[in-house]
Amino acid sequence: MMKSPENGKENEQMKVEDIISHVDHTLLKAAASWEEIRKLCDEAVKYHTASVCVPSSYVKKIRENYPRLTICTVVGFPLGNGNSESKAEETIHALDDGADEIDMVINIGAVKNKNYDLVTEEIAVLKEIAGDKILKVIVETCYLTEEEKIRLCECVTKGGADYIKTSTGFGTAGASLADIALFRKHIGKNVKIKAAGGIRTREDMEAFLTAGADRIGASGAVRAFYARTFSL
């Protein structure tokens, strides 16, 4: 997966760039200011991350100031237990403001009630709204049994989503390599995987990409990687 130039130091740099290209550079904390969001976007442009992942209230302003930047935003975040209609409206407004990708949180209560049809239908409705834009489905693995995770792989696949995503980063735990392996075994062939939550080091990111994740959700990837690279 990683490029391998002959020079060892150059190889190191290329590997960093490749990993960063899979990162959704993320800032979703409640008190995020425009100054912090702008810094996030500047870093994303400079280091060529896959996207920025931000609160929906900032999408329009980012689009006006960074017209070429890929913008990801969240819907039903972080709990996912609002009604489907509100998630649909959030999605419509986010896309109208200029979002390119939507990360939605499933209704975990519906999972615990074994109402998988509701989960699938909600995903399908949001994907219909998103159209050719990317829809990622956050299942919040820390609250799920293995059986529930497998069933949710089916829901995400049947609902037509583009990605299954491990975590919000606001739950009791984040991504695990075991969950990536489980997802790979049970998701449909057109569904990709985003790992998020607690992924902070270069070693972590390489491990998740090697395990089968296509995207990494992380808030400190750029600083961690490039601080280390520039010291080589």
Residues designated catalytic: 103, 165, 194
Measuring CA to CA, which residue among 141, 197, 140, 201 is closest to residue 169? 197
Q: Which H/E stretch holds residue 29?
A: none
Pair of tokens at residue 30 = 């409640």
* 208 residue type, one letter: F
CB 210 within 8 A of CB 18: no
For residue 175, give every residue at least 6 positions away whose Cβ sits within 8 Å of its Cβ, in sequence order, or none: 141, 166, 167, 195, 196, 197, 198, 199, 208, 213
CA distance 122 to 88: 9
β-pairing verdict for 134-138 and 192-196: unpaired
**Other CB atoms within 10 A of residue 223 CB:** 12
DSSP letters along 115-174, please?
Answer: -HHHHHHHHHHHHHHHTTSEEEEE--GGG--HHHHHHHHHHHHHHT-SEEE---SSSS--
C-alpha distances out from residue 116 to 148, 150, 151, 180, Å:
9, 11, 8, 21
